[in-house]
Structure 1
Amino acid sequence: MTATTLDDVERFDAAVARADVDAALSVVQDLLDGGLDPVGVMVDVIAPVQTRVGRRWQSGAWSVAQEHAATSVAVSALEAVARATQPQGRARGRVVIACAEREWHAVPAMIVAGALRTQGWQTMLLGASTPTARLSRYLQDLGPDVTAVSCSVAAGLPNARGFIEASTTAGIPVLAGGAAFGPDSLRADRLGATAWAADARGAAAAIEGLPLVVPAVPPLPGDLTREVAALRTAHDAVVDEALRRTGVAPAAVDGEDPMRESLDQAVHSVAGAVLTDDPRLLGDTAGWVSDVLRARGFDDPDAAVRDALVHAMREYPRAATMVGDHWPDVAPRSA
């Protein structure tokens, strides 16, 4: 077994940046032929390059089209690794892996699926933005041993709760992971997940300790769920009101409307922060929003966005308080 080098990552990054599928597959095959285990290829080469792809769009260096083209190359590389993966050790059970509804980033879930397959688990990957009703049908039809939910953006957190409810009602434990769950288990715990993992290697380790059967997750406080449900129902109206408050006219450039898209993500983030009672989510989102807007020509957007959100959420007391107390006037640069 070998280790990755910076040169391996740079070679793959260069191929992805050119949207050169053949070159990317050649890098992956060279690594596998050289003795690097499939999990290492996925976690130490493909995953960090995909992070770079997202940051290039975030910084304004790349267009949406470039980001999508690069991601398609990463997906092809992951599929190639999956075809070359041979399970190790004894056969395990079956895992259904899905991205929460409104979560369109499927690459992290693909990496987790690949890591679990190397450990002998049978995996069923449902893909991006899976509706809870669809997941429920799979749970009934397949009777998996574990449900794994991936959530990279805050918009998916309320729907991740729906996954957890559906799965634990059937007695099936839930493994949660992804950037939206944060750097520790707090949000996953508060949403009722059975376990949390920081990355694919952590998922492969955590799944070993899951119970065979779990009780249904207890309901969240009614006043909390009612406010979050009302905020989600009024989501578009809240975004519209916040946009009016900023005084920025809607204007799509290269298929983007930066202020509207930023406010859209911000409102989703507030709903997730209220639901998990974790204000750190707002700091993370504020940094992302600030980076996106500054890169697209908005000067000093932080306080304007904060004030617009507080105004637009004035009918939602938990949300307005969360934003007023925890959305920074000057957002940190996101990592």
Structure 2
Amino acid sequence: MTVLDPVLDALARYDGALASVDADRAVDLVEGLLDDGVDPVTVLVDVIASAQRTVGDRWQRGEWTVAEEHAATAVSVSATEAVARHVRRTPATRGRVVVACAEREWHALPAMIVGTALRANGWDITLLGASTPPVRLSQYLHDLGPDATAVSCSVLGALPTTRRFIEASTAAGIPVVVGGSAFGPDDHRAKALGATAWASGAREAVAAVRSLPTVVPAADPVNGSAAAEQAAMELAHHRLVTSLRERWSLAAQIVTTERLPLDSVHSVAADVVNQALHAVWAALLTDDPRALSHTAAWVADLLAARAVEPTLVGELGRLLARDLRDYPLARALVEHHWTATTGSR
């Protein structure tokens, strides 16, 4: 038996607790691991976060509904809170870190996991929760004077507000660590937005915070023309979404999702339109066209799992490029990096 076997066994049992929406069982399991001396960060990363990624994959493949995904996430929140109670038994011996989700980022669990991992390593943590407005962050920075800011962002549509977080923090001389799936597989987007450091996960965030400089300069401006187009697109977002939903075959005539069943193909299609436009924002702000190609691949997988004709991904890209005729940089990005992934131009 290897040293990892107890954790792998715990992961399997934890996954069962998520599937049965048994918060008591999940909490008992993680508390048992902690009482047995398993490192809290191992519990957070190799059990809770690992199982939660599987939950997302199941929704992506159409195996779980939105309701099942949300219920499982609530169980993981309870389990993370149990780890947080455990690590708070020991005094904080380092400085203070403010941990927040960018505005429009409603997935609070990753930030909770990172904050708890930092607390386990001796940092005093102030966790601001989901979708924190930049003005609220600025107030906390002023009131608390933390040593660092950690920002979680998993959705591309929150990258513009993440940039505002970075501006607020670095303007006060406070270094910023960013992470989350919206940043992609490396530090390119984080650097483009002016972050001090990027972390691919909770363990990496702990290491990054430990290595931060004491004081940093204000973040450099982002590309002016690209930022201007992104801001203009953001203001026109409702009009662009409505146009795409009316003309894309999969979402035709859907202008509002209020009455759509959460797990219907049309509801998924309505969300895809938003994600496609957010991918353009991200590509503009970070000069990273992978935001588009990765989103197109994600859409293709999402629709394939629901038996939707794959050529509709290419159709969405062509319609998107057409609707962005007033945004030349954005249109060029879509023409070169969306349809190339889907194989239909």
Q: Same fold (TM over 0.5)?
A: yes
Query: Aligned equivalents of 1:37 and 1:178: distance in 2?
Result: 22
Q: Look up the match of 1:179.
A: 181
Query: Aligned equivalents of 1:72 and 1:140: distance in 2?
Result: 32
Correspondence 1:122-201 to 2 at 5 A: 122-201=124-203
- 2:292 matches 1:282: yes
Cα-to-partner distance string for 1:63-88 (whole Å, 9 max, x where unaligned): 11111110000000000011011577
Instruction: Specify the SS of the correspondent of 1:218.
Output: coil
- Percent identity reads 53
| Matched pairs, number | 331
Query: Aligned equivalents of 2:92 and 2:127: distance in 1?
Result: 21
Worse-superposed segment, 22-31 or 156-165: 22-31
- Would you say the 8 A contact 1:153–1:180 is kept in 2? yes
Instruction: Specify the SS of the correspondent of 1:123.
Output: strand
- 2:316 matches 1:316: no
The aligned amino acid for 1:298 is V
- Would you say the 8 A contact 1:243–1:308 is kept in 2? no
Instruction: Specify the SS of the correspondent of 2:195.
Output: coil
Which of 110, 113, 120 aligns to 1:111? It is: 113
Q: TM-score, normalised by structure 2?
A: 0.91
Q: Which runs of 5+ in 2 are unaligned?
A: none
Query: Aligned equivalents of 1:130 and 1:16: distance in 2?
Result: 27
Which of 23, 26, 50 aligns to 1:24? It is: 26
- 2:275 matches 1:273: no
- 2:261 matches 1:253: yes
Cα-to-partner distance string for 1:262-318 (whole Å, 9 max, x where unaligned): 010110111011110011111221122222223334211221121121112121111
- Would you say the 8 A contact 1:173–1:194 is kept in 2? yes
Query: Aligned equivalents of 2:37 and 2:277: distance in 1?
Result: 46
The aligned amino acid for 1:261 is D
The aligned amino acid for 1:284 is H
Offset of 1:253 from its aligned partner? 2.5
Instruction: Specify the SS of the correspondent of 1:129.
Output: coil
- Would you say the 8 A contact 1:106–1:127 is kept in 2? yes
Inter-CA distance 87–211: structure 2 relative to 1 (3 Å threshold): farther
Offset of 1:190 from its aligned partner? 0.6
Q: Which runs of 5+ in 1 are unaligned?
A: none
- Would you say the 8 A contact 1:302–1:329 is kept in 2? no
Q: TM-score, normalised by structure 1?
A: 0.94
- Cα RMSD between the aligned structures? 1.8
Inter-CA distance 226–116: structure 2 relative to 1 (3 Å threshold): same
- 2:202 matches 1:204: no
Query: Aligned equivalents of 1:235 and 1:17: distance in 2?
Result: 37
Q: Look up the match of 1:304.
A: 315
- 2:222 matches 1:217: no
- 2:272 matches 1:262: yes
The aligned amino acid for 1:211 is P
After the TM superposition, which segments of 4 or more aligned residues of structure 1 sit over 3 Å from their partners? 2-5, 86-90, 328-332
Correspondence 1:28-67 to 2 at 5 A: 28-67=30-69
Instruction: Specify the SS of the correspondent of 1:152.
Output: coil
Query: Aligned equivalents of 1:77 and 1:5: distance in 2?
Result: 15
